Structures are given as C-alpha cells and as structure tokens.
Structure 1
Amino acid sequence: MASVILASASPRRSELLEQIGVRFSVQPAHIDETPRTAEMPGDYVERLAREKALAVAISFPGKLVLGSDTSVVLNAAILGKPSNEREAKAMLAKLSGTTHQVMTAIALAQGGHCETCLVTTQVTFRCLSDDEIAAYVATGEPMDKAGSYGIQGLGGIFVKELKGSYSAVVGLPLQETAALLASAGCPVWKHWPSSRESQS
C-alpha cells in the first residue's frame, strides 16, 4: 500500500484506520476552522476535510493524505466542541429527546488532487435527566468532542436509535474511507494478514 498520512491527531480516527488494516503515519493539519458566513453544515465539514488533507499533502508529494472532519448538527445549527462545562451541559440538554445529524466528511488528497465524501447519520437521544448530564460532564469525556458526547464511550448510553454509519459518528466512516483508498489504487483488503501458514 502506498504510504498513507492521517491529517488528524484524533486517537479515535487512528483506531478506526488501524481496525481496517491501514498502515499510516499521523501529521495533524493546522487550519482555520471558522465557519464562513451562511455556510451550510455539510459544506462546512466537507471544506474542512478537504483543507486538512491538502494542507498536509503539499508537504508530502506522492503520498496519500486522509483528512476528516465531524460536526454535530441540530436544527441546521452546528454544535462544536464545548468551551467549558456549562456549555457542555447546555448542548446535552438541547440534544436530550431529539434527533440530530452527525456529519462526517473525508477527503483523500495526493498532490493537488483531492476526492471528498460526506456521510450523514441520524442519531436520536433518549430524554436525559439533569443529574446524568451533570455526572457525564464531570467525567470530562464531553470536553473534546463535537456535540459534547462520545458515542464510543460513556455517552453511548444516551443513544436511543442510529440510522447510518456508526463509525462516521465516532469520526471516520470506514466503508467510504476504504472506497476512497481503493479508488486511489490502494484497496485495504490486499494488505490484510492471512492466518494460513505458508506451505513449503
């Protein structure tokens, strides 16, 4: 497989890439993540994924660079990472008993060329009590996560229903990521280890 670079410091994205057998290195991208005026949430996450991938690809010619971005969207408004515990509690209270969208975009860049894909998953929360919101925020888990929760962690108990890609909610849609790599000539399955012992 051609050398792949993950343009993200997210440990969750690294774990997901490892899960599907991709060998990669990590080179976080540093870009301005401020939404543009009147920018739609889907356009925003796709733009950030593309900008992350291209920002790193320019320094590593010939290598495949994977960029990704995830946003939690409620009633067309983006819920980013909370800046403090009060904001985290307010976000979780808004999500309580509602259905929101988790939009994750991925981008695969090589040189100046970049292919992107946007995956939207519908997530429904059950109603949350003030006490459990407070207990969850006190764990610190929500503080570095879009929408103030991690579905792969303690926050998973809040999810009543999910329609779409679970891995995209975690941070990287595996099926779409594998498809992008395959279209670039790097099908991940060709590099899976075999349990069969070699015959002499």
Structure 2
Amino acid sequence: MNPAGSSRRHDVVLGSASPARLSVLTRAGVHPRVLVSDVDEDAILDDLTGVPPSDVVARLAMAKSDAVVATLVAERDGSESAAAQDASMSDTVVLTCDSMLLFRGALTGKPHTPDVAIAQWKRVRGQSAELLTGHHLAVLRGLDVVASASETASTTIDFADLDDAEIEAYVATGEPLEVAGGFTLDGLGGWFVDAIDGDPSSVLGIGLPTVRRLLRRVGIGVAELW
C-alpha cells in the first residue's frame, strides 16, 4: 500500500548542505528544500565503535533524518499559518545521506585539515578503496513519520598514483578538506580518480538508483517527485 496515497503530492526536503547532492537531485528533476541537520557526527561515530562500516554510514544518515524531521515537526506544530497547515496535508519526503571512505578496514570522513588530507592521500594513492554512502528516506505526513527505509551504496574507487607534489597542490586548493574521503569526482579531484566501479551519483553524495529503490519500498514512484 502506498503510504502517501496516489493522489497526494510529495514535497522533498534534502537534509544536507552539500552542493553536489543538491545538484544531483536538481539535474534529475527534483527541486528540494534544503534543511541542514544539526547533529554531532563525531559523537555518533564514538557510539558506533565496532558496528559494520555499511551500517555506520546508514546510522549517520538516519540520525540526520531524525534531526531534520524533528525540525519540520516543530515548524508545523508551532505555526497556525495557512502555509503550515497546507504543508501538514502534503507528504514530505526527507532524504539524508552520509559518505565515508573505507580503506583497509578503516573508515575516513572529511579530513578538515591539510595535514590529514595529505596523509590520507598518501595512503590511498595507487590503491583502490570503497566509498560508502548511507541513504535514509522518511515520509512525513502531518506530524508523523508514516514510512522510512535505509540502504548503503558501495562504489569502488581506483585512485591515481600521485606524487607528493600533486597531492600537496591538490590539498592546497582546499577542495578535499570538507568532502568525504578527501576527494571529489565532479571537481578538481576528478583528475586523480582513474576509475570507479559502481554508481557515479553515489560518489557525488546521493545515489539516484538507491533513492529510487527506497522510494519504491515506501510506495512512491520516482516520477511523482518530478
């Protein structure tokens, strides 16, 4: 049964500040509201010690979803405006993701500092690693979540065998400091990825095939979001 109902419309909220994720969705015909979650990822990671890597990124995505949903519920519950009442009658699809790089059994996220980024690149150059992207989808109707689903996408990345000067030049641009795994596919980092095996959109931060499957699980066709 479709929890949203075939006659209902679907608003979309993207719980991410990532320009790449927003770009992937808008190019694919979805124009979401962006509502950034305010979660302490490091604290969550501390609580997930020993959890399988694919579950770690899925749990992070779920935590972001919970935070975004709480914000939306507070907005609706605290407003008497016609717009808020109208929003409460529509179904809102909340999409959240989290990506980390898995290399030799260890997960790495955003480097944040040049020294960390340089060290990370020196470990993976000339090697292959898995980019894991956890996805969580929640359907909010009024003040209640009526359906949800999670899935982790895995894509193998073959990194170029860079020399030290290339690594330092790339890190000096600042691009790799605030992206998962310290690289991009759609930016300067694209020069240094020799190949990928998997879903390219997942490497950009949100996998369209994965989101399509999650929508199907909650009874929504992807064309209903266009």
The reply to whether TM is greater than 0.5 is yes
Give 1:51's aligned residue: 63
1:144-172 Cα deviation digits (max 9, x unpaired): 11111111111111112211111101100
Shift of residue 79 of structure 1? 1.3
- Following TM superposition, the consecutive aligned residue runs of length 4 or more in structure 1 with deviations greater than 4 angstroms are none
- Determine which structure has the larger helix proportion and give its number: 2
Q: Distance in 1 between matches of 2:31 and 2:183?
A: 28
Q: Distance in 1 between matches of 2:225 and 2:129?
A: 36
1:33-82 Cα deviation digits (max 9, x unpaired): 13122222211100011111122123435422111111111111111111
Give 2:192's aligned residue: 158
Tell me if the contact between 2:99 and 2:109 (Cα under 8 Å) persists in the aligned partners: no
Indicate yes or no: 2:91 matched with 1:85: no
Give 2:168's aligned residue: 134
Tell me if the contact between 2:101 and 2:131 (Cα under 8 Å) persists in the aligned partners: yes
Alignment of 1:29-178 (within 5 A): 29-34=37-42, 35=45, 36-60=48-72, 62-110=91-139, 111-112=144-145, 113-178=147-212
2:122 is paired with a residue of what secondary structure? helix
1:60 is paired with a residue of what secondary structure? helix
Tell me if the contact between 1:54 and 1:114 (Cα under 8 Å) persists in the aligned partners: no
Give 2:28's aligned residue: 20
Tell me if the contact between 1:106 and 1:172 (Cα under 8 Å) persists in the aligned partners: yes
Shift of residue 182 of structure 1? 4.1
Shift of residue 184 of structure 1? 3.6
Unaligned runs of 5+ in 2: 1-8, 74-90
**Count of aligned positions:** 192
Shift of residue 126 of structure 1? 2.1
